[in-house]
Amino acid sequence: MRAVPTNRYLIFFSIASVGCLADLATKNWIFAKLGMPDPHMRQVAWIWEGVFGWQTSLNEGALFGIGQGQVHWFALLSCAALVALLVWLFVAGAARDLLLTVALGCVTAGILGNLYDRFGLPGLEWNYATNLHAVGEPVHAVRDWILVMIGPWHWPNFNIADSLLVCGAVLLGWHAFWMPGSKSQPQESGASETH
């Protein structure tokens, strides 16, 4: 098996670290500017009135708020996904493919940014009670802040980590379905190494 080129490590870890840092920095800045979300008074800083703006929210679930309250389960799945993709890239050698390296760098940045929040590392406390938590309990939820309105419909708030996860998934889909030879590449490389 051919070794993974050194520049793939640089590309992957640069995308993962810069993406994660951008996500955490913007979350910190927006939450410092707008404060914790208040379910009774939804403060919005509009960039384009009625279409696009900033609004803090906390998501204790996954994409689109699915699985609210299962934050520890999602944290465990995120850790397992990180290990699996690192093994696939750098042990199994998938990082020889530049597009896979970039795609999984984006996915890793997104996982790390949201995992930071799920572990409760920002040190936030809940300022309102629900059936999942009481006032003053530590927050183990993803900080979201990008607000998009599609006509009258409020798209679920998201963050840069979510955007990176989606970009990575789109690139993976592109690679799987439209890249020439992507389906036969592992067999061909394995066959050529046996000669």
Q: What are phi and psi of 42, to 5 degrees?
A: -85, 100
Catalytic residue among 23, 97, 117, 144: 144
Tokens 């708020």 correspond to 65
Cα angle, residue 117 at apex, residues 101 and 154 outer, rounded to 5°:
90
Catalytic residue among 23, 97, 117, 162: 162
Q: Would you call 23 a catalytic residue per the annotation?
A: no
Strand, helix or coil for residue 63: helix
CA 98 from chain centre, in angstroms, equals: 20
Q: Would you call 97 a catalytic residue per the annotation?
A: no
Tokens 């998934």 correspond to 169
Q: Positive or negative, the Cα torsion across 114, 131, 35, 146?
A: positive
- Catalytic site residues? 144, 162
